[in-house]
Amino acid sequence: MLKEMVREEFEQDIAEGSVLLDFYSKTCGPCKMLAFVLQDVEKQFGDDVKIIKIDFEENPDLIEKYNVEGYPTLIMFKDGVELSRKAGLQQKPVIIKMIEESL
């Protein structure tokens, strides 16, 4: 199951290892389609990557901090450093490449 962001754990979650943030909205059609893709990707990579979902409307401070302009937006981190980002609905091979480049 994809992990919803927990405010108290957020900084610790992105500080170590490979982490993919999914900025989404519950009312966004492409975000819902992306969730299915991310579930498949999560199964493929297991514990090698954390995928954390961040609700756009509930986290305006993180939207501002990471300069997210729309949803869905994916941001790939490695040990707390942003490596790449993609805006809009992404296909599975693009997401896999983002993750593989962080491992």
Q: Where are the alpha helices (DSSP H) in 1-103?
A: 10-15, 29-45, 60-65, 92-100
What's the sign of the alpha-carbon dihedral 84, 90, 94, 95?
positive
Burial 81-90 (b: 16+ CB within 10 A, else e): eebbbeeebb
Q: Which of the residues 2, 28, 87, 89 is marked catalytic?
A: 28
Q: 97: how many CB neighbours lie within 10 A of its CB?
A: 14
Question: CA-to-CA distance for 92 and 76, rounded, in angstroms?
Answer: 14
Q: Which of the residues 5, 14, 19, 31 is marked catalytic?
A: 31
Active site residue 28: yes
Catalytically annotated residues: 28, 31
